[in-house]
Structure 1
Amino acid sequence: MARDDLGALAARLGRRLIAMEQPILARHGVSMWAYVVLNGLAGGEVRTQAALATSIGADKTRLIPVLDDLQDRGLITREPDPGDRRARLLGLTGSGRELHRAVQAEIRDAEDRLMAELPASDRDAFLRTLSALAG
């Protein structure tokens, strides 16, 4: 049986997910990259800008305007690293954590509606497989 390449299938799913998430992000006044940053910092540990850029797959120079905006809005903190004054440590503020939780809850609800298109027996297997392949 012929099928599309995995890249083509993943790209179509990616476009569908982005289209689903854009209105949610717009309602909360955050860009996709801003949400990616909030998500990357949501684990709670303080991280350097360079480590964050690596973990989310972003060019650290292009990340700076996103960080500036989030800091100006009081959603993240960015302080000099006491161990390396050239580096900056990042963290979520209470407002940043609250915004992240609200956006993530709406995105997860939308994902649940999308996943409802699959038979219940396939949902967990899909998520496990996707996590393994993306890992």
Structure 2
Amino acid sequence: MFAIVRTNQNIIPVLGLPTIKEFQLLKRVETIQADVSTNYKDLFQDIGNIKIEPYDFKLREKYQTVVSSPRKIPFQLMDKLKVELEKLEEQEIIIKVTDPSEFVNPIIFVTKPNKNIRICLDPQKLNAALLRE
């Protein structure tokens, strides 16, 4: 059994990673995760639906509303963004809001390995106004 110790001192380990691998003293655990996603592939294909009761988020008594301006999106990715937003709306993951809102959070996105995009919300200002229970 090995213990991993973090220290600020400049200590040279007795065995380095190449030696540990060579003597097969290290067992990789992430293969278990790969097996789960392979063995239960049908569970990881689509968006899941969890049946839960709606939750009413409560805001602090004195909070400041924040309407953030949108972040810049490269023109060549606008079509992909529009398609992804429409898909999320169709799947009822997001709802289009046309009325004024107290909080408007910016979105950012990352390009996935398959060249599609993942949309992420940045709710920092809203989170700061939420009342913790």
Structure 2 length normalisation: TM-score? 0.27
Question: Which structure: greater helix fraction?
Answer: 1
Larger Rg: 2
TM-score using structure 1 length: 0.27
